[in-house]
Copies of this chain bind each other. A is one copy, B any other.
Amino acid sequence: MKNKITKQSEDFSRWYNDLVLQAELADYSPVKGCMVIRPNGYAIWEKMQAELDRMFKETGHQNAYFPLFIPESFMKKEAEHVKGFAPQCAIVTIGGDKVLEERLYIRPTSETIIYAMYSKWINSYRDLPLLLNQWANVVRWEMRTRLFLRTTEFLWQEGHTAHATHDEAEEETLKILNIYTEFLEKFMAVPVLRGLKTEKEKFAGALRTYCVEAMMRDKKALQAGTSHNLGQNFAKAFDVKFQSREGNMEYVWQTSWGVSTRLIGSLIMVHGDDKGMKIPPRLASTQVVVIPIYRDDSEKQAVLEAAGKLIEKLKTRVSVKLDDRDHYSPGWKFNEWELKGIPLRIEIGPKDVKNQSVIFVRRDTGEKTPVRFDGLEDHAFTTLEDIQDNMYKTALKFRDDNTFEVDDYNEFKEKNKRDGGFFSMYVCDSNKCEIKLQEETKATIRVIPLNPPGGKNGSHKGKCILCNGSSKQRVIVAKAY
């Protein structure tokens, strides 16, 4: 496989597209804005699903499935929500050869259809909390699409919960934010900043939106997941009430939260390099690839026999694949598996068999190490752990190296334009400053961090970098996907 992907330094955006297509993670489909997720990409999504699903279930959530279609009248019940979503919906007007009496929106998100059911199911405080999640496809009509990052149809999970009090809903919102953080950091090896969105950037219909934001290799931010405290907005629109312990009828307090196949895009852009993708070991369906090297049939036999035995041992600790295809050279295979991001490559040739050792080649560092046959499987396992750890640390260092505290607007503008990165700065609450910031710099307030570091005298307060007005704390500003 000739590596023909554009260099990151040359054109990051082309590098990304080249990688996605050539590593066969996804492909363009004949339907405008929709992609096909190919087996290499879908295998990563399955691993992500498995881990997240386990975490959701361990915290008491159950899966369910709600209809793809949302009647137009439902979309219109929550005023902010319809304003935010209706213009980007796909709409079914014909069914079974007839024009429909009521138009059906393809779900862009499922608050409305789900809460219509909640109003039927929830009667008493005994029915609370109701903690449901669904894995589903959603559709948002996008003008400019990018594979995984922004597509008309995408796959995601959306959690929807109902609680008796505001505080329980808030606790749930933060519990999920923590799950997302743990998943991104421990499994995706992606460090994130956690915090609030501004009023302007919050979910249409929410009280407040929390998010996790990560830095890509081009120093732009990507919103990796959101968790919304919906307050009672939807409960009032859909009449979701319960009888409290004291016998009063009250509106429930709700949350919703989601992550999508967009995560695959961030995985690529946080870890990838000019050789291709790097899959963190905990999300790799194939963690180790074994490549036999030989020149003739007698060498082949000896090498394959030894490789076969090693693979049996490796299988007890890691997931492994033998690439014994005859019509590709070892060098071609090295490139292919590097492109696809398999964490660890093991090379074995006739000399290695004689020496009872192999060569380990790490995808994260490129480091080559001879390893004895004896105890090989344990060595592979610990190497993978180390790769996982190192990928996280590398990404964290990159983010830290490219995060700057700034207090002067001109300095920020110049640095943002020249180098990019995350900027920690004071901005006031006004919509005016937020809009001005975006118009003049293309950067936006990504997140108001939780637990900001204390300033002078332990206070977090400062002066808005734009208007010099009062600001409660530093926020993170960056250009974003």
> Which chain B residues border A94 with CB–CB below 8 Å?
90-91, 93, 103
The 3 closest A-B pairs by CB, nearest first: A96-B141, A39-B62, A34-B67
Whether B106 lies near A70 (C-beta < 8 A) is: no
Residues of B within 8 A of A121 (CB): 27
A31 and B67 within 8 A (CB): yes
Measured CB to CB, the closest approach of chain B to A73, in angstroms, equals 9
Q: What is the CA–CA distance of A71 and B46 in the complex, to the nearest angstrom?
A: 28
Instruction: Jot down 15 A-B pairs with beta carbons below 8 A, ordered by A.
Output: A27-B121, A29-B67, A29-B113, A29-B116, A31-B69, A31-B70, A34-B67, A36-B117, A37-B65, A39-B132, A68-B106, A68-B139, A87-B97, A91-B92, A137-B137
Decide: B155 and A65 in contact? CB cutoff 8 A.
yes
What is the predominant secondary structure among interface residues of chain A facing chain B?
mixed
Contact with B along A40-72 (1 / 0, CB 8 A): 001101100000000000000011111111110
Contact partner of A30 (CB less than 8 A), chosen from B46, B113, B126, is B113
Q: CA of A106 to CA of B69 in the docked complex: distance in angstroms?
A: 11
A104 adjacent to chain B (CB < 8 Å): yes
Q: Does B30 contact A71, Cβ atoms closer than 8 Å?
A: yes
Q: Which of A30, A63, A121, A327 has the most CB of B within 10 A?
A: A30
Question: Closest residue to A74 on the B side, CB-wise?
Answer: B30
Q: Does A153 have its Cβ within 8 Å of any Cβ on chain B?
A: yes
Shortest A311–chain B CB gap in Å is: 17
A95 adjacent to B91 (CB under 8 Å): yes
In whole angstroms, how far apart are the Cα atoms of A97 and B85 in the complex?
A: 11
Contact B29 A66 (CB under 8 A): yes
A197 → chain B, closest Cβ, in Å?
Answer: 24
Q: Are A104 and B132 in contact (CB under 8 A)?
A: no
A14 proximal to B (CB < 8 A): no
Chain B residues within an 8 Å CB radius of A155 = 65
Q: Which of A312-340 contact B (CB under 8 A)?
A: 327
A62 contacts B90, C-beta separation under 8 Å? no
The residues of A with any CB-CB pair to B shorter than 8 Å are 27, 29-31, 34-39, 42-43, 45-46, 62-71, 74, 87-97, 103-104, 106, 113, 116-117, 120-121, 126, 132, 136-137, 139, 141-143, 152-153, 155, 327
A96 lies within 8 A of B92 (CB) = no
Q: A31-B71, A96-B141, A106-B92 are in contact. Are A42 and B66 (CB under 8 A)?
A: no
Give Cα A96–Cα B87 distance, bound, in whole angstroms: 5
Bound-complex Cα distance A29 to B115 (A):
11
- Supplied contacts A39-B132, A93-B93, 17 more A-B pairs, CB within 8 Å: A27-B117, A30-B113, A31-B104, A34-B67, A34-B69, A35-B67, A37-B64, A39-B62, A42-B65, A43-B63, A87-B96, A87-B97, A90-B95, A90-B96, A96-B143, A106-B106, A126-B327
Contacting residues, chain B, for A43 (C-beta < 8 A): 62-63
Do B116 and A30 have beta carbons less than 8 Å apart? yes
Instruction: From B29, B136, B141, give the contact of A117 (CB < 8 A).
Output: B29
Q: Which residue of B lies closest to A139 (CB)?
A: B68
Q: From known contacts A113-B30, A116-B30, infer whether A153 and B68 are also in contact, taking CB-CB under 8 Å.
A: yes
CB of A236 to closest CB in B, whole Å: 18
Distance (whole angstroms) from the CB of A175 to the closest CB of chain B: 19
- List chain B residues, Cβ under 8 A from A63: 39, 42-43, 46
User: How far is B118's CA from A29's CA once the two chains are assembled, in angstroms?
Assistant: 11
Name the B residues within 8 Å of A132 (CB-CB). 39
Q: What residues on B are CB-neighbors of A136 within 8 Å?
A: 137
In the assembled complex, how far is the CB of residue A299 from the closest CB belonging to chain B, in whole angstroms?
A: 24
Closest Cβ of chain B: how far from A409's Cβ, in Å? 36
B67 in contact with A90 (CB, 8 Å): no
The minimal Cβ–Cβ distance linking A338 to chain B, given in whole angstroms, is 21
- CA of A66 to CA of B26 in the docked complex: distance in angstroms? 10
